[in-house]
Amino acid sequence: MKAIKVGLLGLGTVGTGVVRIVEKHQEDLLSQVGSPIQIEKIAVKNLKKERSISVDSSVLTEDPWEVIRHPEIDVIVEVMGGINETKTYLLEALALGKHIITANKDLMALYGSEILAKALEHQCDVFYEASVAGGIPIIRTLIEGFSSDRITKIMGIVNGTTNYILSKMSRESASYEDVLKEAQQLGYAESDPTSDVEGLDAARKMAILSTLGFRTNVELKDVSVRGISSVSKEDITYAKQLGYEMKLLGIAECHDDGLSISVQPTMVKASHPIAAVGGVYNAVYVHGEAVGETMFYGAGAGELPTATSVVADLIAVIKNMKLGVTGLKAIVPYKEKKLRADERIFYKNFLLLQVDDKAGVLAQITQVFAEYEVSLDSVIQTPNAQQPGAEIMIVTHLANKASMDKVVKHFESMSVIRRIKSIYRVEG
């Protein structure tokens, strides 16, 4: 029985998990695909590095081209990261007729359309389930599970690092700086956490999910991004008082008048299922016209959860090879992209204002909201023992982004408003 031979680019955390699963589950894999699966060659950065698994030295190479151009390798699994150089490797592999499985969200967010077009040209499969939300099979769900429905909203916690930080801040009333430092010590956050905490990692994932869910070519530049570095312990305390949890949410919506995609700290009603997702876990909420609300929850990273998604893609590729239908499932965006104008982007808002504590201030503030036709859901004024003046918490009804921008600009010019301390989107 001829083995399906696989080339692996990278033997870090996820690559190690792939090797473990393929070796440990060989009998199960054989029963599913009808052939043994053999990892023929693995490209690594350092041949002498100590590893947590035993791999025959003849399998390892420091030259990725040795894997790409190996005549007997049928499938390339890319888990080494990187963008431009990695793109060159994968495009060459596709030109040679090799199928691709990747966990590289950065690459797919920036060059996914080009890679999928090359795959279609050479009738190759490109699967990338592990690029978003680790072990949650959300990409396959969007492509296949919702194939007969029309998705109108995708909302998710797609970055475990920021979810860990915000969950810990909420649970222990800890400061952002203290929790970030702890997350770095535990290995949940990188020494340079910018990509995670400023929302860039989540934005790349939302670009991928939006492209698949809405069948249009969403680029990273189409995503409005705001990170969590400005979220204070005080913000989270006030959110909890009002019955909300703070989450970094990716939110993508598509209607007849266009689509909008954002990543931003969001106050989520405590009764909403996504508000209960804590720690490093991920969750993706999808709303379809026919099915209504659905939510997918699970481990968003880690060796085995992510490797499980990679191997699931590997099984899918091999089944397609056996059936002779490779290259037919690539989702190439076919709908014209139309982004919503700010006047058509509606959501509720939370504002925290530091104001002069004197008569008439609240009336002036509510008059500004009325001027720009923004109605208010709740207004709470409290004295602040630590600072002069008073604080006003405001939650609006649904308001369009353009009107809210005008409100904020007007507030910045008012002498009675000492500081706009916080502004957040409200969901649920």
pLDDT of residue 275: 96
pLDDT of residue 24: 93
Domain boundaries, the chain: 4-132+303-323, 138-299, 343-427
Close Cβ partners of 235 (under 8 Å, ≥ 6 residues apart)? 246, 352, 422, 424
3-class secondary-structure state, position 254: strand
Close Cβ partners of 24 (under 8 Å, ≥ 6 residues apart)? none
Nearest to 142 by CA among 254, 45, 302: 254
Please give the sequence-ordered ranges of beta strands (E in DSSP) within 278-408, or none if there are none. 281-288, 292-299, 346-355, 376-383, 390-396, 399-400
| pLDDT tens-digit map of 86-108 | 999 999 999 999 999 999 999 99
3-class secondary-structure state, position 170: helix
Pairing of strands 376-383, 390-396: antiparallel
Active site residue 205: yes
pLDDT of residue 66: 97
- Whether domain 343-427 has CATH 3.40.366.10: the reply is no
**Residues 368/353, Cβ–Cβ less than 8 Å:** no
177's tokens: 């700086």
H or E stretch covering 30:
helix 26-33
Its CATH class, for the domain covering 138-299, is alpha beta
The whole-angstrom separation of Cα 203 and Cα 223 is 6
| pLDDT tens-digit map of 159-207 | 999 999 999 999 999 999 999 999 999 888 889 999 999 999 999 999 9
3-class secondary-structure state, position 263: strand
Helix axes 160-172, 233-241, angle to 10 degrees: 70
**Residues 252/142, Cβ–Cβ less than 8 Å:** no
The whole-angstrom separation of Cα 298 and Cα 225 is 24
Maximum distance among all Cα pairs of the chain, rounded to whole angstroms = 86
- Whether domain 4-132+303-323 has CATH 3.40.50.720: the reply is yes
Query: Apex CA 227: angle with CA 225 and CA 228, to 5°?
Result: 155
Residues of the chain with pLDDT under 70: 330-331, 384-387
pLDDT of residue 386: 67
The whole-angstrom separation of Cα 333 and Cα 218 is 9
**Residues 162/228, Cβ–Cβ less than 8 Å:** yes
Fold identical between 4-132+303-323 and 138-299? no
89's tokens: 């490797």
| C-alpha count within 13 angstroms, C-beta hemisphere, residue 109 | 23
pLDDT of residue 388: 73
Nearest to 100 by CA among 134, 118, 125, 72: 125
pLDDT of residue 333: 77
pLDDT of residue 2: 87
Out of 118, 168, 205, 401, pick the active-site residue: 205
The whole-angstrom separation of Cα 340 and Cα 251 is 13
pLDDT of residue 179: 95
